[in-house]
Amino acid sequence: MYSYLKRFYAAAMQIIWFCRVLLFYSLLLPLTIIFALIALLTFPFPFVVRYWIITRWSHIFIFLSKIICGLQYKIHGIENIPKKNCIIVSNHQSMWETIFMQVLFPQQNMILKKELLRIPFFGWGLSLLEPIALDRKNFRSVNRVLEQGFDRLKKGRFVLLFPEGTRLPYGHSGRYSRTAAALAIKSGFPILPVAHNAGKYWPKGFFIKQPGIIEVTIGPQVLETSGNLDVLTETIKSWITSHIH
């Protein structure tokens, strides 16, 4: 009898959790469409105005994921966020951290794969945030990324980069590109490493989520003075992998 009740309870919890996640997306999807249309209307405004309006969607996203999906978060090292802009480098496990970075840090431009800008509604709003699009099939596009990244930094904005290039399961670490290191050496701006375990609760995939506390750790800034891309890249990777809870 106890075993039967235990299985029934587990099944009931799964159904309830499925309904909560379904509610999350039923609210998020229409809001995404609405904000995409609003984003198009912000085109004539300066970047600072566009950025504030469009990123309200990011705040709503994190709020809904918190109260509906139970995705809480805890930040370590928040005192390490500098007043002056820099290059943010983070591991990549889910969609959650790509949105949360806009809530955590000031004005920023993300280095991302250009395919994301083709997503209806979501990509439209994203393009108005002036991201730095990378064509992974074109090696020459890396030079354009460095030029655009340097330009954004000179404008006083943070530049965000996920050097693994794709979402990886929690507990796994991929090869880090040297783009962040190259941009830091070219521009003279420091790198701010960020580690998190979002993939533990929001694994790669559109629907699957689990409640829990996502740990986000912000490290001290790193500045490579020797000009060695491999050394700087390995330094950042070692710090991030050692601080994923």
Per residue in 180-234, pLDDT (tens digit) is 999 999 999 999 999 999 999 998 765 778 899 999 999 999 987 677 899 999 9
Q: What is the mean pLDDT of residues 104-128?
A: 87
**pLDDT value of position 2:** 65
What the block records as the tokens of 166 is: 């794709």
CB 152 within 8 A of CB 130: yes
Please enumerate in sequence order all residues whose Cβ is within 8 A of that of 216, keeping only pairs 6 or more positions apart, or say none: 73, 74, 75, 76, 97, 100, 104, 194, 195, 196
**pLDDT recorded at residue 103:** 96
pLDDT higher at 48 or 223: 48
The structural domains of the chain, with segments of one domain joined by +, span 72-242
pLDDT on residue 152: 95
Per the prediction, the chain carries an average pLDDT of 89
Q: Tell me, what's the pLDDT at 77? A: 96
Q: Which of 11-15, 49-53, 164-168, 203-207 is predicted most confidently? A: 49-53
- Residue among 104, 150, 166, 160 at smallest CA distance from 129: 160
Is domain 72-242 in CATH 3.40.50.10260, yes or no? no
